[in-house]
């Protein structure tokens, strides 16, 4: 892109794997420019609220699934005194997270959310922010998060919610999946995923305004990019992304898209 703006990657390369595309997209300079290092609605405020709903205590062991550049892992260690392991699919992102981390008790490993490279019952809390909706096998990912927490441990999820039957077709495509929309569920749908693996929802909080705020920020930056980028493939990608964001804004205003924090407890007898 011109004027020092980062290059916008394709939302989904033809024939590409959704998980790999997600990892590549969210590791890109363009994603950091559009979203900041938080990479999820509400930023640190939402993360802190999720930790509070989960009753996170000093010294507890947390696995942050799809940890990205490690912003959440560092926050949980610094503010709550948690011992945090971040799992991320992209090797380059893991290296960046390690380079950025100065806090004690924080480590990062490469791994797939649907096959966590962790032992059974090693953690008090498994946390995932704005990622579950992008996983191709969501039931498997939730089962893995449950497996690695102890009986009585907690699963803490923050994610986009969607009434997918009511969404326009453009928000149910492969590209929209990478953009955290197409495979999102209703709040009840996430609760059903958790119940299927023996976890009971103990706290929930709607954060729809956080989603709308992020949509506003991304739309504003994409409008700037559209004005500055030269004609060609990059302008087409900006136009594609801007069209999706505008649709997402309309659906958020209609209430068919939203954002929720959910905490569930694994059965103590499991």
SS3 192: helix
Q: What is the CB-side half-sphere exposure of residue 28 using CA atoms within 13 A?
A: 17
Q: How many CA atoms lie within 13 A of 104 on its CB side?
A: 3
Query: Going by C-beta distance under 8 Å and a sequence separation of 6 or more, which residues neighbour residue 254?
Result: 166
CATH superfamily entry for domain 18-209+255-266: Vaccinia Virus protein VP39 (3.40.50.150)
Which residues, in sequence order, are CB contacts of 16 under 8 Å at separation 6+?
A: none
248 close to 215: Cβ distance less than 8 angstroms: yes
pTM of the model: 0.86
pLDDT digits (tens, 9 = 90+) for 154-186: 999 999 999 988 888 878 765 555 556 658 899
Q: Tell me the percentage of the chain whose pLDDT exceeds 90.
A: 61
Closest to 86 (Cα-Cα) out of 28, 41, 47, 46? 47
Q: Is 80 exceeded by the pLDDT of residue 141?
A: yes
Q: Where are the domains of the chain?
A: 18-209+255-266
Please state, in angstroms and rounded to a whole number, the distance separating the CA atoms of residues 212 and 199: 29
Tens of pLDDT along 84-138? 999 999 999 999 999 999 999 999 999 999 999 999 999 999 999 999 988 889 9
Alpha helices (H) in the chain, listed in sequence order? 18-26, 29-35, 43-53, 71-80, 91-100, 138-148, 174-178, 187-196, 208-228, 233-254
Average pLDDT, rounded, for the chain: 87
């Amino acid at each position: 892109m011109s004027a020092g703006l980062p290059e916008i990657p394709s939302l989904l390369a033809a024939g590409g794997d959704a998980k790999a595309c997600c990892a590549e997209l969210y590791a890109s300079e363009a994603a950091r420019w559009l979203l900041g290092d938080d990479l999820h609605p509400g930023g640190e405020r939402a993360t802190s609220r999720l930790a509070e709903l989960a009753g996170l205590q000093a010294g507890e062991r947390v696995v942050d699934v799809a940890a990205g550049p490690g912003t959440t892992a560092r926050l949980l260690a610094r503010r709550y005194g948690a011992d945090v392991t971040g799992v991320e699919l992209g090797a380059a992102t893991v290296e960046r997270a390690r380079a950025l981390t100065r806090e004690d008790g924080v480590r990062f490993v490469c791994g797939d959310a649907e096959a966590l490279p962790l032992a059974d019952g090693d953690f008090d809390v498994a946390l995932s922010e704005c990622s579950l909706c992008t996983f191709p096998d969501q039931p498997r990912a939730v089962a893995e998060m449950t497996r690695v927490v102890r009986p009585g441990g907690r699963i803490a999820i923050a994610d986009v919610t969607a009434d997918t039957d009511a969404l326009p077709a453009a928000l149910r495509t492969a590209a929209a999946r990478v953009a955290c929309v197409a495979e999102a569920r209703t709040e009840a749908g996430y609760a059903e995923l958790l119940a299927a693996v023996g976890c009971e929802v103990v706290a929930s909080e709607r954060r729809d305004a956080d989603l709308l705020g992020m949509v506003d920020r991304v739309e504003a930056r994409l409008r700037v990019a559209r004005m500055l980028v030269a004609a060609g493939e990059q302008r087409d990608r900006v136009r594609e992304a801007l069209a999706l964001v505008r649709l997402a804004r309309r659906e958020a205003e209609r209430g068919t898209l939203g954002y929720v924090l959910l905490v569930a407890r694994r059965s103590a007898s499991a």
